[in-house]
């Protein structure tokens, strides 16, 4: 009976070690960097609020803490149905597409607000949005070495390159 109890304790201890190293909401940074980059899944708004030329919707972003917003970088992306420029492309925000300006802002920590100045209310279910939050503690934001990126470099990178750099599934 004693060895069975010891085996159970060993399994519990081992499980705690494994699970304590996992990050529920993020991925590890580039190779050799010990930091978590947070990202949302692709989502569509359930409803836009506002009026003609001033549309917005809020998305919950629990990982957007004051520290990440003030010291890191938040990147926003959009895929728009009917984008004649390239219907398969993901555009970094801010962007002009489908006859309107698209952007995002963080009016409150833990919330991201996506905006559009379309005259008619934007589509809901066919337009997709996503954000990536990179904490300022990541060496990629603190150094200008060859293997790291500054905030401006990250903002000018393509969506695919940012995903590749931080091992984020597209």
109-120: per-residue pLDDT in tens?
999 999 999 999
Residue 150 in domain: yes
Q: What is the mean pLDDT of residues 41-62?
A: 94
HSE, CB side, 13 Å, CA atoms: give it for residue 108.
7
Closest-CA residue to 30 (of 146, 110, 129, 130)? 146
Q: State the residue range of the domain holding 130.
A: 25-165
Number of domains in the chain: 1
Is 106 in a helix, a strand, or coil? strand
Q: What pLDDT was estimated at residue 155?
A: 86
Q: What is the mean pLDDT of the chain?
A: 76
131-155: per-residue pLDDT in tens?
999 988 765 555 443 345 677 888 8
With residues binned 3-state (H G I as helix, E B as strand, rest as coil), the percentages for the chain, rounded to 5, are: 25, 30, 45
Query: For residues 123 and 139, which has the higher predicted lDDT (pLDDT)?
Result: 123
Residue 43 in domain: yes
Would the pTM of this model clear 0.85, i.e. be above it? no
Cα distance between residue 118 and residue 154, in whole Å: 27
Residue 133 in domain: yes
Residue 135 in domain: yes
167: left (phi over 0), alpha (psi -120 to 50) or beta: left
Q: Is the predicted pLDDT of residue 41 greater than 90, yes or no?
A: yes
Residue 79 in domain: yes
């Amino acid at each position: 009976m004693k060895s069975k109890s010891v085996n159970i304790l060993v399994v519990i201890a081992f499980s705690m070690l494994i699970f304590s190293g996992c990050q529920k909401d993020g991925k590890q940074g580039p190779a050799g960097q010990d930091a978590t980059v947070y990202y949302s899944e692709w989502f569509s708004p359930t409803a836009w609020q506002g009026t003609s030329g001033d549309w917005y919707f809020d998305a919950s972003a629990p990982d957007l803490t004051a520290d990440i917003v003030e010291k890191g970088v938040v990147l926003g992306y959009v895929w728009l149905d009917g984008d004649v420029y390239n219907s398969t492309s993901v555009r970094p925000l801010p962007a002009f597409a489908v006859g309107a300006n698209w952007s995002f802002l963080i009016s409150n920590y833990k919330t991201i607000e996506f905006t559009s100045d379309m005259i008619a209310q934007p589509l809901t279910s066919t337009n997709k949005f996503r954000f990536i939050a990179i904490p300022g503690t990541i060496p990629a934001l603190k150094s200008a070495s060859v293997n790291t990126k500054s905030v401006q470099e990250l903002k000018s990178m393509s969506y695919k390159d940012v995903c590749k750099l931080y091992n984020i599934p597209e």
